[in-house]
C-alpha cells in the first residue's frame, strides 16, 4: 500500500501535495516524494523518510508550481531508499510516474526495455518500468502513451503520470488499487484515498478497474481501456476527516479486519500456481540442498506473531515431517537453546523491529545458523539482518492489536510449509493441490465470514460478553493456537480477563473457574477431534458456562450442545485458523467498543516494542 496525490490548479501544488500526503501516511511512510512542474520542467524531490522530512527539504522551493504529483511509500519491490522513492523519471526526464500496486511482469519488461530500448534503470522498483514504458510509446499524447503501455502490463496499479511536454495535464489509471478524483473549482485532484481530497472538495468520483482519466485544472475526462469517454457519477462525501482516514470505519482495527481478504490475496499473489499445486518462493533464495538439509526448525516470535508460529509448527510438522519448536523470543534469547548447524530459525515479526525477536535472530546468527524472517515491513531491521526474507503483504497496520498482519503471517507459513515439502519431495502432488486450491479460495471465504449479517451477530453477542470481567477460549488441535490468539486480542483491547485453554486441559484445573453464565468461546473446526471437543463443551455446560461456538459448517451436532454457534464456510482442514480467528477478532473489537475502551491504542501497549 502506498499513498498517491496529484494536483492541477491555481493553488500551490506543493502545499496541496504535502498536506495530502500527510493524510495518507497511514498507507505507507518509509519514503516520500513529489514531482512539480517548474518552468516547463518536472522537478523531482524525494527521499527515504517521512513526508515531514520531505516538507523540510522543499522549504522555499517550487512555491509557484500549479501542477504536481506526490507519493508516500510502503516498500514492496526494492528497499526504502532515496533511489527507490517515487516519483520515477523516464530516461529523458520528461515523464514522471507515481504508482501504488505491483507490476507482476516487471522483470520481463525491465529486460525488454534495457536490452531492446537501451534504457538504464536507476532504481530497484517495478514502477520505474512504467516510466520508461510510457516514454517508449510517447508520440506527443501522454494519455495515448499510458493507454498503450498498460496493454503490456500485468499486475495491479493506481498510477499518475505527467509529461513536461504537456505540462497542464495529469493522466491516471487504476487496476486493483484505489484512485479517487476530486473535482474542484479551477482545480482538480487525484488521490489514493478521500482524506487527501477533503480540504479542497467533497465532490468526488471513484475510478473503477480498467479506467483511465485525464485531469487539467478545469476539466476531468474518464476513459475506458479502449479510449472511449465514460460518463461517471459523482459521489458527494459527507464523512469528516477522521472517519475518512479510517476509510469510513470507526477504528483502524475494524478497517484492518475488513482488509483481510485483500491482504491475503496480496500475500498469495505470484506465489502459487493452483493448477499445478505449486508454491514458488524464489525470493527466499534457498537452494534445494539447503532446504533438504534442514533437520529441525525453531520459530521465534512474540505475542500474536508467536501464535502464528504455533499454527506454523502444526502445519510444517504435518506437511514436511520435521520437528518444529516455537519459542517466545524473550525466553529463547536467554535459555541457551540447543542449536545445531542443520537447524533453521524462522523469526516472525510484523514490524520487524521487536527487540526480543531481533535478539533471537542475532543469537541464532551468532551461532552460524541460517535465519529466515517473515515480516511485513520492507527494510526493517529484521529484514536486513536475516539471511532469507518472506514478506507478508498486509500493508501498514496501524491499530496496536494485530489482525491482518497475523492472517498474512499464517499465509506465509502455509506457503513456506508447502514449498519446503515440495522442495524436499515429501509432499504428494494431490495434497499440495488441495492445499493450494484451498489457499486460493480464502479471500472469497473471508469475505463471506465478514458479511454484514455475521458482523451484526457477533456485535450482539458482545453486548452480553462485555458485561463479564472474565472469559474463556477453548479449542483442540489447530483450534488451540487460535483460542490463544482470540484470548490475547480480547484481553488487550477490552481489558476483559481472557484465558485460553487447550480444551482437553480444562479438567486439569481451569474447570474450577467455570461458573454460571461465564462466557466460553469454543473453537470447533477439527473433524479428527470433533467428538472430544463436543465432550469438552458438555463439561462446560454441566458447570453452567455459556458456550458460543465458532464451528466448521457441517458440524451439525455443535448447535445442539451450545448456546449459540457461528458457522464458518468449509475449508481445507489445515487452513481453518485463517477463517476461525476472524470472528474472534470481531468479538474482541465489539466487546472493547461496548466497554468504551480505546480500541486502536489500548492502555500500556505500543505497536512496536523496541525495548526488552
The sign one gets for the Cα dihedral 465, 466, 471, 472 is: positive
Question: Which H/E stretch holds residue 488?
Answer: helix 479-494
CB of 75 to ligand F6R, least distance (A): 16
| Closer by beta carbon to ligand F6R, 126 or else 259 | 259
Helix (H, G, I), strand (E, B) or coil at 607: coil
CB of 486 to ligand F6R, least distance (A): 11
Per-residue burial over 305-315, b if 16 or more Cβ lie within 10 Å, else e, is: bbbbbbbbbbb
CB of 350 to ligand F6R, least distance (A): 3
| Closer by beta carbon to ligand F6R, 85 or else 591 | 591
Contact 357, 304 (CB under 8 A): no
| Closer by beta carbon to ligand F6R, 177 or else 354 | 354
CB of 402 to ligand F6R, least distance (A): 3
| Closer by beta carbon to ligand F6R, 189 or else 310 | 310
Contact 98, 69 (CB under 8 A): yes
- Cα separation, 408 vs 116, in Å, equals 38
Q: What is the DSSP letter of 4?
A: E
User: How many angstroms separate the Cα of 599 from the Cα of each of 213, 354, 401?
Assistant: 38, 21, 8
Structure-derived torsion over alpha carbons of residues 350, 278, 432, 372, reported in degrees to the nearest 10:
-30
Q: Which residue has the cell 454457534?
A: 565
CB of 170 to ligand F6R, least distance (A): 37
CB of 374 to ligand F6R, least distance (A): 9
- Cα separation, 223 vs 382, in Å, equals 44
Of 12, 122, 120, 118, the closest CA to residue 70 belongs to 12
CB of 455 to ligand F6R, least distance (A): 20
356 preceded by a cis bond (ω within 30 of 0) = no
Q: What is the DSSP letter of 373?
A: E
| Closer by beta carbon to ligand F6R, 515 or else 598 | 598
| Closer by beta carbon to ligand F6R, 133 or else 401 | 401
Of 95, 97, 92, the closest CA to residue 34 belongs to 97
Which position among 2, 172, 302, 462 bears the catalytic label?
A: 2
Residue 137 CB partners (closer than 8 Å, separation 6+)? 144, 145, 148, 149
Helix (H, G, I), strand (E, B) or coil at 595: coil
Q: Which residue has the cell 503471517?
A: 409
CB of 330 to ligand F6R, least distance (A): 11
For ligand F6R, the binding residues (CB under 6 A) are 302-305, 349-351, 354, 357, 401-402, 488, 492, 608-609
| Closer by beta carbon to ligand F6R, 546 or else 600 | 600
| Closer by beta carbon to ligand F6R, 212 or else 253 | 253
The answer to whether 607 is a known catalytic residue is yes
- Cα separation, 125 vs 119, in Å, equals 14
| Closer by beta carbon to ligand F6R, 281 or else 581 | 581
Instruction: Give the sheet arrangement for strand 157-163, strand by strand.
Output: 88-89, 95-100, 157-163, 170-175, 211-216, 219-223, 229-230
- Cα separation, 316 vs 416, in Å, equals 8
Q: Which residue is nearest to ligand F6R (CB)?
A: 303
Number of DSSP helices (H) and strands (E) in the chain, helices first: 20, 27
Q: Which three cell numbers stand for residue 149?
A: 503501455
Q: What is the DSSP letter of 216?
A: E
CB of 598 to ligand F6R, least distance (A): 14
Catalytically annotated residues: 2, 607
Amino acid at each position: 500500500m502506498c499513498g498517491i496525490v496529484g494536483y492541477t490548479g491555481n493553488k500551490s501544488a506543493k502545499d496541496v501535495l504535502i498536506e495530502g500526503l500527510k493524510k495518507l501516511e497511514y498507507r505507507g511512510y518509509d519514503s516520500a516524494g513529489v514531482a512539480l512542474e517548474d518552468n516547463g520542467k518536472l522537478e523531482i524531490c524525494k527521499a527515504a523518510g517521512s513526508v515531514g522530512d520531505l516538507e523540510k527539504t522543499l522549504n522555499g522551493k517550487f512555491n509557484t508550481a500549479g501542477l504536481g504529483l506526490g507519493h508516500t511509500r510502503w516498500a514492496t519491490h526494492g528497499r526504502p531508499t532515496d533511489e527507490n522513492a517515487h516519483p520515477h523519471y523516464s530516461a529523458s526526464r520528461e515523464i514522471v510516474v507515481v504508482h501504488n500496486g505491483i507490476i507482476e511482469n516487471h522483470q520481463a519488461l525491465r529486460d525488454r526495455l534495457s536490452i531492446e530500448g537501451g534504457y538504464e534503470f536507476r532504481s530497484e522498483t517495478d514502477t520505474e518500468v512504467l516510466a520508461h514504458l510510457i516514454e517508449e510509446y510517447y508520440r506527443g499524447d501522454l494519455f495515448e502513451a499510458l493507454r498503450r503501455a498498460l496493454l503490456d502490463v500485468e499486475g495491479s496499479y493506481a498510477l499518475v503520470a505527467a509529461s513536461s511536454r504537456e505540462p497542464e495535464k495529469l493522466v491516471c489509471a487504476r487496476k486493483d488499487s484505489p484512485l479517487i478524483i476530486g473535482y474542484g473549482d479551477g482545480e482538480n485532484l487525484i488521490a489514493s484515498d478521500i482524506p487527501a481530497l477533503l480540504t479542497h472538495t467533497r465532490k468526488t468520483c471513484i475510478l473503477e478497474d480498467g479506467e483511465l482519466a485525464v485531469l487539467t485544472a478545469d476539466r476531468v475526462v474518464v476513459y475506458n481501456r479502449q479510449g472511449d469517454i465514460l460518463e461517471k457519477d459523482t459521489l458527494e462525501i459527507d464523512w469528516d476527516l477522521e472517519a475518512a482516514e479510517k476509510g469510513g470505519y470507526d477504528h483502524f482495527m475494524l478497517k484492518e479486519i475488513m482488509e483481510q481478504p485483500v491482504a491475503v490475496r496480496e500475500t498469495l499473489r505470484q506465489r502459487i500456481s493452483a493448477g499445478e499445486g505449486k508454491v514458488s518462493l524464489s525470493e527466499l533464495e534457498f537452494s534445494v540442498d539447503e532446504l533438504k538439509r534442514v533437520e529441525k526448525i525453531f520459530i521465534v516470535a512474540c505475542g500474536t506473531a508467536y501464535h502464528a508460529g504455533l499454527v506454523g509448527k502444526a502445519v510444517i510438522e504435518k506437511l514436511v515431517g520435521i520437528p518444529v519448536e516455537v519459542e517466545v523470543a524473550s525466553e529463547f534469547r536467554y535459555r541457551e537453546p540447543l542449536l545445531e548447524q542443520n537447524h533453521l530459525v524462522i523469526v516472525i515479526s510484523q514490524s520487524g523491529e521487536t527487540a526480543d525477536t531481533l535478539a533471537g535472530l542475532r543469537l541464532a546468527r551468532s551461532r552460524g545458523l541460517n535465519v529466515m524472517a517473515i515480516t511485513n515491513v520492507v527494510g526493517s531491521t529484521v529484514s536486513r539482518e536475516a539471511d532469507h526474507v518472506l514478506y507478508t503483504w498486509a500493508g501498514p497496520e496501524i491499530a496496536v492489536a494485530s489482525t491482518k498482519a497475523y492472517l498474512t503471517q499464517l499465509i506465509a507459513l502455509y506457503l513456506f510449509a508447502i514449498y519446503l515439502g515440495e522442495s524436499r519431495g515429501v509432499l504428494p502432488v494431490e495434497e499440495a493441490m488441495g492445499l493450494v486450491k484451498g489457499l486460493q479460495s480464502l479471500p472469497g471465504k473471508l469475505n463471506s465470514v465478514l458479511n454484514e449479517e455475521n458482523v451484526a451477530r457477533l456485535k450482539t453477542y458482545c453486548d452480553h460478553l462485555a458485561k463479564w470481567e472474565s472469559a474463556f477460549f477453548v479449542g483442540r488441535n489447530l483450534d488451540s493456537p487460535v483460542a490463544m490468539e482470540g484470548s490475547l486480542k480480547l484481553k488487550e483491547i477490552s481489558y476483559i480477563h481472557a484465558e485460553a485453554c487447550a480444551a482437553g486441559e480444562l479438567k486439569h484445573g481451569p474447570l474450577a473457574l467455570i461458573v454460571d453464565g461465564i462466557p466460553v468461546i469454543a473453537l470447533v473446526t477439527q473433524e479428527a477431534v470433533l467428538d472430544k471437543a463436543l465432550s469438552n463443551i458438555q463439561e462446560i455446560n454441566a458447570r453452567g458456562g455459556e458456550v458460543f461456538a465458532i464451528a466448521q459448517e457441517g458440524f451439525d451436532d455443535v448447535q445442539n450442545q451450545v448456546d449459540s454457534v457461528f458457522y464458518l464456510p468449509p475449508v481445507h482442514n489445515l487452513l481453518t485458523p485463517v477463517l476461525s480467528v476472524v470472528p474472534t477478532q470481531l468479538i474482541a473489537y465489539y466487546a472493547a467498543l461496548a466497554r468504551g475502551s480505546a480500541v486502536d491504542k489500548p492502555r500500556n501497549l505500543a505497536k512496536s516494542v523496541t525495548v526488552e
